[in-house]
Structure 1
Amino acid sequence: MTALSVNINKIAVLRNSRGHAEPDPLKAARVAIDAGCHGITVHPRPDQRHIRVDDVLRVGAMLRSDGSATAVEYNLEGNPFAPPRGNYPGFIELVRAARPAQATLVPDGDAQITSDHGFDLAQDAARLMPLVRELKAIGCRVSLFIDAGCADVERAAEIGADRIEIYTEPYANAFAGGDYAAALADCVRTAERACAAGLGVNAGHDLNQRNLGALKQAIPFLAEVSIGHALIGEALYDGLAPTVRAYLAILAAG
């Protein structure tokens, strides 16, 4: 079974646009969980332009307090190299406080609107290895954000990671253009090499109800997909709970 982790960052963007408490990312997480999702993802950034430190802690506390954490995994994404700033304590310390099931490491900077590339493992391996070790000591499964077609995906296993997350925007863009065979093949080859190296395979970025089925069919052993932007956008028209259930049906059919 491929798990669906719902990224609730966009709920926080909407809330922050007014500077008040609504819509509440915590309530959105609860609706998604009640609809059957397998996980909740948040990706706080040091500038806290959407999900904030207090949101990260509130969601973690909710999952622990009502027993959801036994069935619903908490996935905390972020740049492990980003230093503390203001009340942002740094990614490792935030993981230590929130205790997610999975920490997904992403090489994004403040200037990026969103994540737009994976790690250069040849360049970043030495810096990543002690951080991966520290996160696993906290009790987290560790996933590394990787480009489809990455030349040295096996190094993720050498670093000590448990999984990779394939960056799927190039595939999504190609799918939207109608000629996606090559981009999908890159995803498949990367997934197969990762699997052969003993790594689990996640995927995420710009996946939606139109392109998810083909990816799942091509990579049936996908462990997890993390979806936020498209899912929340579709939910504006169809409702959050029905949209979550629609994604679950696609994954089940695949």
Structure 2
Amino acid sequence: MTKRIENRFSALKGEGRPALVTFLMAGDPDGETAFEIMRALPGAGADLIELGMPFSDPMADGPAIQKAGLRALAGGETLKKTLATVARFRESDTDTPVILMGYFNPIYVYGVDAFLDDALAAGVDGLIVVDLPPEMDSELCKPALDAGLSFIRLATPTTDEKRLPAVLQNTSGFVYYVSITGITGSAAPDAGKVGGAVQRIKAQTDLPVCVGFGVRTGEQARAIAAVADGVVVGSALVSALEASLDAKGAAGTGSAEAVLSIVRDLAAGVRAARLATA
């Protein structure tokens, strides 16, 4: 199994701070711009990178990430190109964990065994596949774990005590806690409620718990980071990229910076959280 995720959280624990996990959509709005942003994320303060696999029917995603996926698909992004982007990223960064996030259909079409082989070869560390519940672990989760990839599961406010053990059973890398009920980017999380939920999950697993959905600012990141092992931000970054595009949806000279400036603000918030509680 690749150790980048485990090593990163271990290093951050030694520093006494939580992680900033950033999401971007592969190929949005074009492959070169997406790669430019990805390559610069660690320098802006991202500790782990989630790379979206574009899909035509993203049921759990809000409007911003839906549109990002459709822009990427319109620009010709494929799963094979997404894996090639990871491989290109690994040419200059061998430490930052990269997690592919999306839906099972593109992987199924690609072929599970071929996908896992190619993902490992490219330098992928883990998968988040939101439409595969624990009852379908034999489809991808167990083969991924056997191949050496982490399979990161989502827990939500509606994951009760009876359901939580099933969610955690084959999870590795970290647990992704969805802080709100609904689609991505739809509301701001309540740090008090999130803190209680994180503790409930941590009572049943030694894995880090990262919190996502709804975090858009450095202040929000700081509040959530104070009660979790990591903060995941996606919609705010994707929305900033969209706002930078021209009338035809093409990237401009300031598109990458539009995203990276927010990442720097989020990183400052995450890093301030531990300092405030040290």
Instruction: Tell me the TM-score normalised to structure 2 length.
Output: 0.66
Check 1:77–1:32 CA distance in 2 against 1; reply closer, same or farther (3 A cut).
Answer: same
- The one-letter code of the counterpart of 2:130 is V
Q: Distance in 1 between matches of 2:97 and 2:237?
A: 18
Check 1:97–1:249 CA distance in 2 against 1; reply closer, same or farther (3 A cut).
Answer: same
Alignment correspondent of 2:84: 58
- The percent of aligned pairs where both chains have the same amino acid is 14
Please state whether the residue corresponding to 1:8 is helix, strand or coil: strand
Alignment correspondent of 1:6: 22
* Contact 2:55/2:102 (<8 A) preserved: no
- Gap runs ≥5 in structure 2: 1-16, 57-68, 245-253, 274-278
- The one-letter code of the counterpart of 2:36 is K
* Contact 2:99/2:126 (<8 A) preserved: yes
* Contact 2:49/2:98 (<8 A) preserved: yes
Q: Give a deviation string over 1:35-65, Cα, whole Å, max 9, x none.
A: 2322221121444733531442122212322
Q: Distance in 2 between matches of 1:193 and 1:134?
A: 28
- The one-letter code of the counterpart of 1:197 is Q
Using the TM superposition, give the Cα deviation of residue 253 of structure 1 relative to its aligned residue in structure 2, in angstroms.
0.8
Check 1:80–1:234 CA distance in 2 against 1; reply closer, same or farther (3 A cut).
Answer: closer
From 197, 207, 218, the counterpart of 2:204:
197
Alignment correspondent of 2:266: 247
From 148, 151, 162, the counterpart of 2:157:
148
Using the TM superposition, give the Cα deviation of residue 194 of structure 1 relative to its aligned residue in structure 2, in angstroms.
1.9
Alignment correspondent of 1:104: 128
Q: Distance in 1 between matches of 2:107 and 2:85?
A: 23
* Contact 1:56/1:98 (<8 A) preserved: no
How many residues are aligned here? 218
User: What do you get for the CA RMSD once the two structures are aligned?
Assistant: 3.0
Q: Give a deviation string over 1:128-155, Cα, whole Å, max 9, x none.
A: 2563221112222221122124112222
Q: Distance in 1 between matches of 2:187 and 2:259?
A: 27
Residues 12-91 of structure 1 aligned to structure 2 (within 5 Å): 12-15=27-30, 24-47=33-56, 49=70, 50=72, 52-66=78-92, 68-70=93-95, 72-80=96-104, 84-85=108-109, 89-90=110-111
Q: Distance in 1 between matches of 2:159 and 2:214?
A: 19
- The one-letter code of the counterpart of 1:40 is I
Q: Give a deviation string over 1:85-129, Cα, whole Å, max 9, x none.
A: 4xxx1566434312211211212xxxxxxxxxxx7xxxx323225
Check 1:168–1:69 CA distance in 2 against 1; reply closer, same or farther (3 A cut).
Answer: farther
* Contact 2:24/2:50 (<8 A) preserved: yes
Deviates more, 1:241-250 or 1:158-167: 158-167
Check 1:64–1:77 CA distance in 2 against 1; reply closer, same or farther (3 A cut).
Answer: same
Which consecutive segments of 4 or more residues in structure 1 shift more than 6 A? none
Please state whether the residue corresponding to 1:30 is helix, strand or coil: helix
Check 1:130–1:234 CA distance in 2 against 1; reply closer, same or farther (3 A cut).
Answer: closer
- Gap runs ≥5 in structure 1: 16-20, 108-118
Q: Give a deviation string over 1:151-204, Cα, whole Å, max 9, x none.
A: 1222223235453211234497554xxxx65xx454333322221212321222
Alignment correspondent of 2:4: none
Check 1:250–1:91 CA distance in 2 against 1; reply closer, same or farther (3 A cut).
Answer: farther
From 135, 141, 144, the counterpart of 1:132:
141
Larger relative contact order (Cα-Cα within 8 Å, sequence gap ≥ 6): 2
* Aligned: 1:229 with 2:244: no
- The one-letter code of the counterpart of 1:12 is G
- The one-letter code of the counterpart of 2:41 is A
